[in-house]
Amino acid sequence: MKINKLYRSLGGILLLCSMVFFQSCLKDDNEVFDKNPSERLQQYLSEVKNILTGAEKGWLLEMYPESDQSYGGYAFIVRFDEEKVYASSELAADYETELESLYKLTDDDGPVLSFDTYNEFLHFLSTPSPDAYEAFGGEFEFVVLEATPDLVTLRGKKTNNIMYMRKMTGDAVSYLTKIETLIESMVLSGFSGTVGGTQVSGTIDVDYRQLSFVPAGGDPVMASYVLTDDGLRLYSPVEVAGVTFEEFMVDPETNSLTDKGGSGTVFNAVFPEGWRGYAEYAGNYVLSFNGGTEVNVTLIPAGDGASYIMSGLNSQFTVTLEYLRSSGSLSWLSQKIGDANGNEIWLCAWDAGPGQLTWNTAVGMRTDWNGDEQHPVYTWIDYGTWTGYSVNSYIMWQLSGGSSAGQFANSSWYITGTRSNRLPYVETMTKTD
């Protein structure tokens, strides 16, 4: 069984032996099996390398960090020569930029593809940073399960996630640009449709790239996805109401999902109660906290279509608010706001009751709209990602090397109109223009 697995990727040669060619194939098999296991593995690695380097336009690597695929998948375009890999990514600011680094194919309890020298793109999901001190659970070593001239199947050594490299037939920059266009235009958060006579509703989290299908009278079916140049592809096929789905085309004009598998199923957009478009948040506000204390703040689009810059808390810093397309709300998460005394200064999410704080950049609060178009008021509520605690406040804190360096107390950083580096019990944000 072990030998057969090693030879699954050799262009299907063993599987293509017909009765007509039986004798010649048998001769080849005898020659192969005359070699010891190490020689057979080296031959296999050589075949894989030929496949990798043979793709002129490179490969689409759909990478899923975290063992539960909780961040969804991300697109990377990789080209190989004899020693180096050249990578671009949808995560890059410039899609024409290719970063080069070394790679290797080794025997490590099986054939392993390793991006073993640092590449900012390929290692982004596995490298801690000030904004993500635990990184995103990515990896850079993959067991090669199967390799054909058009598709390479990988398994992450750390997460055990199954991932694919698909041979590129078009231009990498064009492909990644189409993904960006889709991200900017896609405001889908909920959907509904009929599958084989069964009504199915669902939600899509475009920030964490997760789908949930809920058939009438049935249990939810969850799936992670990666964006493609015309839609989205699921981490693995799922069955919903007797129909298997794997890939959808997204129409950004109608925000509908159409099954590309031939079932003809179309899911139409449904927006949740309280959903707000990105552009609706720009303007001036009064931020209320601590039982009636108020400070004037201004929200200005950050220029990326995905976040706002909030100014007014203090002239020393601004706060970034992320737009959540799936819920149409803004999130205010723990974040670095500056430097002082040789330390990083963070505005940390804080549960003021028990006095617990965190600089985890996935923890904070989000807005909940009152539904009034003429006089919008946004209530700040817990984002719901801090197990055992509820965020209701923010506090300035010092970090050094990713570790706590104590509370930050500096009068020049006081919240406007107060004598404190804290924002206890954040309540509402009322629009004034």
Tokens representing 8? 């699954």
Cα-Cα-Cα-Cα torsion 415, 418, 423, 428, nearest 10 degrees, comes to -100
CATH number at residue 220: 2.40.128
Q: Are residues 138 and 287 in the same domain?
A: no
Q: How far apart are CA 241 and CA 263, in angstroms?
A: 12
- 125 falls in which pLDDT band (50, 70, 90)? very high
Q: Are residues 257 and 331 in the same domain?
A: no
Q: How far apart are CA 282 and CA 302, in angstroms?
A: 10
Q: Are residues 296 and 209 in the same domain?
A: no
Q: Are residues 167 and 190 in the same domain?
A: no
In this prediction the pTM is 0.64
**Backbone torsions φ then ψ of 302, nearest 5 degrees:** -75, -10
Q: Are residues 355 and 218 in the same domain?
A: no
**Per-residue pLDDT at 67:** 93
Q: Are residues 203 and 283 in the same domain?
A: no
The string of pLDDT tens digits covering residues 70-81 is 999 999 999 999
- 25 falls in which pLDDT band (50, 70, 90)? very low
The string of pLDDT tens digits covering residues 335-371 is 999 999 999 999 999 999 999 999 999 999 999 999 9
Q: Are residues 137 and 13 in the same domain?
A: yes
The string of pLDDT tens digits covering residues 133-173 is 667 889 999 999 999 999 999 999 999 999 999 999 999 99
**Per-residue pLDDT at 30:** 47
Question: Of 247, 270, 293, which closes a domain?
Answer: 270
Q: Where in 219-363 does DSSP place strands (E)?
A: 221-227, 231-240, 243-251, 256-259, 266-270, 283-289, 293-301, 307-314, 317-324, 329-333, 335-340, 343-351, 356-358
**Angle subtended at Cα 197 by Cα 193 and Cα 201, rounded to the nearest 5 degrees:** 30
CATH number at residue 98: 2.40.128.370
Q: How far apart are CA 263 and CA 247, in angstroms?
A: 11
Q: Are residues 14 and 139 in the same domain?
A: yes
Q: Are residues 100 and 203 in the same domain?
A: no
Question: Of 232, 253, 270, which closes a domain?
Answer: 270
User: What is the count of structural domains for the chain?
Assistant: 3
Q: Are residues 137 and 75 in the same domain?
A: yes
**Residue-range definition of the domain harbouring residue 112:** 2-177
**Per-residue pLDDT at 133:** 61
Q: Are residues 190 and 172 in the same domain?
A: no
Q: Are residues 296 and 236 in the same domain?
A: no
338 SS3 class: strand
